[in-house]
Amino acid sequence: MVKISFSKNMKIILLVAVLAAVVFAVFAALTFPRTVVSFSVAFTIGADRKEKEFDLPLLHGLARVEVTVQSGTALWSAKIESRNEVVWSHSTSQGGQTTYTSEWIPLESGHYNFTFGTIGIGSLEGDIKVTTKGGFW
């Protein structure tokens, strides 16, 4: 059997490397992208809206909105509010099978309200998702 011995300095270097790897892994796990809002909509003719509340997790600073229209055509609008102040909004007319994906929106950790609404003579069926991330992702 071969015995491997480490010097005191080598043990310290190895310990620091292991601790750095653990800290990196914990940071990566805490900041990994996660879906905070996900729901389907099926709006008919007229005006309708859906609201969902979400919290931006600690160490997360970015959010992205994805709207996937599966069928129908209507004017839709989405917004993110914090303390009754709009921090992001987007409106467009989309139809057929289309996906809208926003840029990454810088937000502070905290409580938010997401609203998705439609108006028009058409109907709209789709899925809405808000994803957050932090760190280097």
What pLDDT, on the 0 to 100 scale, is given for residue 66?
96
Classified as helix, coil or strand, 22 is: helix
Tell me the two tokens of residue 48. Answer: 């309708």
Sketch the domain layout of the chain as residue ranges.
32-134
- Each residue's pLDDT tens digit, 44-77: 887 889 999 999 988 899 999 999 988 888 889 9
Contact between 128 and 37 (Cβ < 8 Å): yes
Domain spanning 32-134, CATH architecture: Sandwich (2.60)
What is the spatial distance between Cα 137 and Cα 126, in angstroms, rounded to a whole number? 27
State pTM to two decimals: 0.80
Burial 9-26 (b: 16+ CB within 10 A, else e): eeeeeeeeeeeeeeeeee
Phi-psi region of 120 (alpha: psi -120 to 50; beta: other; left: phi over 0): left
Per-residue model confidence as pLDDT tens digits over 89-104: 999 987 778 899 999 9
CA 124, CA 42: separation in Å to the nearest integer? 6
Residue 25 predicted with pLDDT over 80: yes
- Rounded Cα gap, residues 34 and 135, in angstroms: 13
